Chains A and B, each alone.
Chain A
Amino acid sequence: MRVRTASHRHVVLRAGGAVLRLERRAFAVAAALLAVILVIGVSGMLIGDYPLGVRDVLASVAGVHGDPLGQYFVRDIRLPRVLAALLVGAALGVSGGIFQNISGNALGSPDIIGFTTGAATGALLQIILFEAGPEAVAVGALLGGFGTAFAVYLLAWRGGLAGYRLVLVGIGVSAVLAAVNSLLVVRASLTAAQTAAQWLAGSLNAIGWGQVLLVACTVGALLPAALVLSRPLGAMTMGDDLATGLGVRVERTRLLIVAIGIALVSVATAITGPIAFVALAAPQIAKRLTRSAGIGLGTAALMGAALVCASDLVAQRLFAPTQLPVGVVTGSLGGIYLIWLLGSEWRRQKA
């Protein structure tokens, strides 16, 4: 692979016939985020009530550690948890980036346009009406997310899928579903309502390899597809006519990218419950760090992964041995970070 400086703002990566042109600052931010993710991921393996060193962790991952208990903690508890945090975070970040691009609105994240609410409706029905176990709740959430997406899609389709209409219809559907959720919680017994509240907070506390595999397959298949589509998507933010002029097949691209965004957010929510704010904040934080005009899906994915992974570490250790749901921490950590970023941006402009 060859790295070449193309201009003041861009770097070009060449590997064989493939050429990748990146904005210099986005490249630096992505590299820094990868480093951060690595550090937090390794910390997530090291830190816990059962203390282990770097060498223990590496040996356990390789399966040659002498201490079976240590090996169990690393391979069956900490490793899947860290991987799940990274994958779910990346899925939410990309999904948020996709919908903010499609709607041209910073508030147009899947939290606000209904897919997360629909997944919650599916899960709450399972928890409250059928008193189901975790697997059935995950299936309910998945069905709820996809069902909502299908309904929104059908309602928003009018010989084409305008991004903004999709978001508005999503908000209407979301309002109705949020009311249904609220009705379920109000009519439920206190115990069932509390279980529901736990699920609604979004948590990585009971993650196993099965769930990691599901989200890994989803992200593994859809993230590259989203990155390939991010260039035509960028062109579409300048308007459909201009994008068509540039050779983008607008309708097809939009359909594909929306489907990808929905699949990512639905699977992530089914696994962990709705983790607040990541889909909205990660793309915006990434955009402000790269100081780019548009929303980059790659940096949004990295930012989402870093945010969820760091939040989960805090959620585990802040009041240990009591474990907070990760959604509580992403809400406050992401919120505070975004506020700080907005503030510093403003100070920089003023100076």
Chain B
Amino acid sequence: MRRTSLGVRLTVLAGFAALAAVALLVSLAVGSNPIPLGDVWQLLTHPSGSFESAVVNEQRVPRTLLIVVVGAALGVAGALMQSLTRNPLADPGILGVNAGASLAVVLAVAVFGVASIWFYLWFAFAGAALASVLVYVLGAGVGRGAAGGRVATPVRLALAGVAISMAISALVQTVILSNQHAFNEFRFWAAGSAEGRGYPVLWAVLGFVVLGLVVALSLAPSLNALALGDETGRALGVRVARTRVLVMIAVTLLAGAATAAVGPIGFVGLGVPYLARAVCGPDQRWVLPYSAVMAPTLLLAADVLGRVVIAPQEVQVGIIAAILGGPVFIALARRRRIEAL
């Protein structure tokens, strides 16, 4: 492992934060309605009643902020999940979050006839939370003390999560194959899009994400100790079972809120923590903030591109994020030796 000093890590982190800030400004300035850069700044500082003002202040600002929040949530949730399962191939979806949210959304359409972003949000969040509780109860087992009882091995947790996700996805497929309306709504939701998300969505998920981020960052030292194995972690004073529960709560809050806000976005949670570890090493105290800064940059870039490539129509942010991030991930996988988690 390369030893890097605190100063270097902080400087690099600040560099990535600056990159994120640039992406944020671009996201405010660029869109399907061409508005000159000077006007955008003018409208931000002095909102008028014009159409352009509404585009900038009512659409681009909340959408950009939402992308930042969702990106940070997904990046950190992915890093937590990979650390929890000790498997660099894990992503937040393994906790059943995407499958649960998907089932809730198709049921909302098929059974309750609901079709609006606002209701999808709450259905998706509830579905994601229920699914992750199910994964925890069945996968990790409940009611076991940290002292005598056995704690589920990371690989078993990952397998249980995949198994439950698959079982839930089978239900989703049954519904969408038999209900045309539900399928049509689902295919757009499932691509992951920030189109038309305004302040209400942002305020609805912001609290959950902030809480999740705080819990996640506070767990970083325990995760570092657990990376050495459960026994070593316990010897170092980590309460293993309690840490696992808290990590899963944090992942549920973060990934559940993100999925509720913009739909399932697949690649970010898997790829970004991997990129972060490539830059800063395996220390979770650094991996988590790096992921939180790098993921929004990727998502912002993807969202801006999605808005302009076939304007005035949009390509969903989840699609562009994977197309942008995939090649970077491949280049990295080719270049470096893979570190074990």
Contact = CB atoms under 8 A, between A and B. Distances in A.
Interface stretch (B17-25, B172-180, B206-214, B248-256): B172-180
A176 B173 contact: no
Interface stretch (B238-246, B286-294, B320-328): B320-328
Binding site of B, secondary structure by majority: helix, strand, loop or mixed?
helix
Contacts of B180: 190, 194
A339 B326 contact: no
27 contacts: A105-B89, A107-B89, A107-B90, A169-B333, A171-B333, A173-B326, A176-B322, A176-B327, A179-B318, A179-B320, A179-B326, A182-B190, A182-B191, A182-B316, A185-B191, A186-B187, A186-B316, A190-B184, A281-B166, A328-B177, A331-B167, A331-B173, A332-B171, A338-B163, A339-B139, A339-B163, A345-B156
Interface stretch (A15-23, A85-93, A160-168, A217-225): A160-168
B152 A171 contact: no
Contacts of A325: 173, 177
**In the A-B complex, the 8 residue pairs with the closest CB atoms:** A331-B170, A335-B167, A176-B326, A179-B322, A172-B330, A168-B333, A172-B329, A332-B170
A169 to B, nearest CB: 5
Contacts of A165: 333-334, 338
B141 interface: yes
B326 A332 contact: no
A179 B323 contact: yes
Interface stretch (B41-49, B117-125, B266-274): B266-274
Given A164-B338, A186-B191, A328-B170, 19 more contacts: A106-B159, A107-B87, A108-B89, A171-B329, A172-B271, A172-B326, A179-B267, A179-B323, A179-B326, A182-B316, A182-B318, A277-B166, A325-B173, A327-B173, A328-B173, A331-B173, A335-B170, A338-B159, A339-B139
A175 B271 contact: yes
Contact of B183 (A155, A168, A186, A194): A194
Interface in B118-151: 138-139, 141, 149-150
Interface string A107-128: 1100010000000000000000
Nearest to B148: A350
Contacts of B329: 168, 171-172, 175
B90 A169 contact: no
Contacts of A284: 159
Given A107-B87, A168-B338, A335-B163, A175 B170 contact: no
A9 interface: no
A350 B149 contact: yes
Nearest to B333: A168
B317 to A, nearest CB: 11
B187 A350 contact: no
A209 B209 CA distance: 54
Contacts of B322: 175-176, 178-179
B298 to A, nearest CB: 12
Interface band, chain A: 35 or more
Nearest to B188: A186
A283 B139 CA distance: 19
B266 A178 contact: yes
Contacts of A136: none
B266 to A, nearest CB: 6
A167 B160 CA distance: 21
Interface string A53-93: 00000000000000000000000000000000000000000
Interface in A315-331: 324-325, 327-331
Interface in A144-183: 155-156, 158, 164-165, 167-169, 171-173, 175-176, 178-180, 182-183
A343 interface: yes
Interface string B302-339: 00000000000001101111110111011001100010
A198 B170 contact: no
Interface size class of B (residues with CB under 8 A): 35 or more
B270 to A, nearest CB: 7
Contacts, number: 163
Given A107-B89, A112-B89, A182-B316, A169 B330 contact: yes
Nearest to A107: B89
B315 A183 contact: yes
B111 interface: no
Contacts of A328: 170, 173-174, 177
Interface of A: 105-108, 112, 155-156, 158, 164-165, 167-169, 171-173, 175-176, 178-180, 182-183, 185-186, 190, 193-194, 197-198, 201, 276-277, 280-281, 284, 324-325, 327-332, 334-336, 338-339, 342-343, 345-346, 349-350
Nearest to A113: B89
Contacts of A277: 166
Given A165-B334, A172-B330, A324-B174, A339 B164 contact: yes
B32 interface: no
Contacts of A185: 187, 191
Interface string B218-239: 0000000000000000000000
* Residue of A107, A186, A334 ringed by the most chain B CB atoms within 10 A: A107
B10 interface: no
A339 B160 contact: yes
Nearest to B321: A179
B61 interface: no
Contact of B89 (A156, A167, A330): A167
A42 to B, nearest CB: 26
A239 to B, nearest CB: 13
Contacts of B315: 183
Contact of B162 (A107, A186, A197): A107
B35 interface: no
Given A108-B89, A331-B167, A346 B141 contact: yes
A156 B171 CA distance: 36
Contacts of B333: 156, 165, 168-169, 171-172
